[in-house]
Amino acid sequence: MDKFEEIYKRAQMLRIVPRIAVVAPDRHSLAAVEEAVDLGLASAAFFMTTATEPYVLDKVRSSRFSYYVLDSVEEAAEYAVAACSASECHMLMKGNLDSSVLLRAVLQKDSGLTEGKLLTHLAWLEMPSYHKLFIVTDGGMIPYPSLEEKEEILQHAVNYSHRLGLQEPKIAVLAAAEKVNHKLRETTDAAYLKEQAAKGKYGNCIVEGPISFDLAYMPGAAEVKGYESPVAGDADVLLVPDLVSGNLLAKALVYGGGGEMAGLIVGARVPILLISRSASTKEKMNTIALAVVLAQTSDEKELR
């Protein structure tokens, strides 16, 4: 599935209709959920607050959706997490609240959504200048990942690529240059990840690194630089050194390069739909469709 359009088609083919727990909805998230419901992708329950915009409150109250009105966004997040933990809802969606508030509810020891796994952020992007969907990770969860955490980030990217039908995803471990420099930890980390991937540690994938963004993204750059790698110009995953670089890269591609994005936190029992509050309704729809597909292609129990 190389385009979001193909993700939508796949989601509409699935028989089970998951229920989204939407926390503190705003107009964009409400519009995206309404469209997803109209397309038959999902159903929804809204966890609102007394401070929710009156337009949204009135529209949800007059709709066919289940809804709850709580005193604060913290309480709304806790109730939504509990609904997911009890399998009353099958995915968790951020509305108009800080990501930290939602994730704090998820990460509570008694939330029932975490099982000791590292949670990481995967951003899928579709670009007019690139030939397929690709992932940027981690630009939304782990500020300065250790080498061990990068291994888990990489493993999540491989696993979720497999779920979308990529048998051998190509992973570019990004750095500013292609040579190992012991003063630049991202280059030594990249070399280690490449070495371990060659031994089969992360499953069926090809890892290249350290590799610069231009080499990973543009086939012509590899030709000019005389750089040979199956990942060059054909990366499925861009693994970034830290959250700041990943966040900047993804937003630059979307807002400066005309791209579309979908963003998920993975590693919990349910997909967590986490995308910027400034994201368009279309990008929130992309995220819903992607989460629907991924939730139902899991090897674990996701929907019952």
Domain at 179, CATH number:
3.40.718.10
Phi, psi of 288 (to 5 degrees): -60, -50
The tokens describing 241, both together, are 């050194």
- Return d(Cα 215, Cα 224) in angstroms, integer: 10
One domain, residues 35 and 152: no
The tokens describing 9, both together, are 């088609």
One domain, residues 133 and 259: yes
The closest of 268, 264, 256 to 289, measured between CA atoms, is: 264
Using DSSP, state whether 92 is helix, strand or coil: strand
One domain, residues 10 and 104: yes
One domain, residues 256 and 143: yes
- pTM for this entry: 0.93
The number of residues in the chain equals 304
Low pLDDT (below 70) residues in the chain:
297-304
One domain, residues 232 and 178: yes
Full strand arrangement of the beta sheet holding 260-266: 66-70, 43-49, 19-23, 91-94, 272-273, 260-266, 120-126, 134-137, 237-239, 170-174, 206-211
Q: List pLDDT tens digits, range 247-275.
A: 999 999 999 999 999 999 999 999 999 88
Which residues on neighbouring strands pair with residue 22, listed in sequence order?
46, 93
One domain, residues 125 and 246: yes
One domain, residues 123 and 248: yes
Do the beta carbons of residue 262 and residue 280 sit within 8 Å? Answer: no
The closest of 122, 70, 72 to 268, measured between CA atoms, is: 122
One domain, residues 97 and 187: no
Angle between helices 281-295 and 4-13 (to 10 degrees): 50
Q: List pLDDT tens digits, range 133-187.
A: 999 999 989 999 999 999 999 999 999 999 999 999 999 999 998 999 999 999 9
Domain count, the chain: 2
pLDDT at 283: 92
State the residue range of the domain holding 279: 1-116+268-304
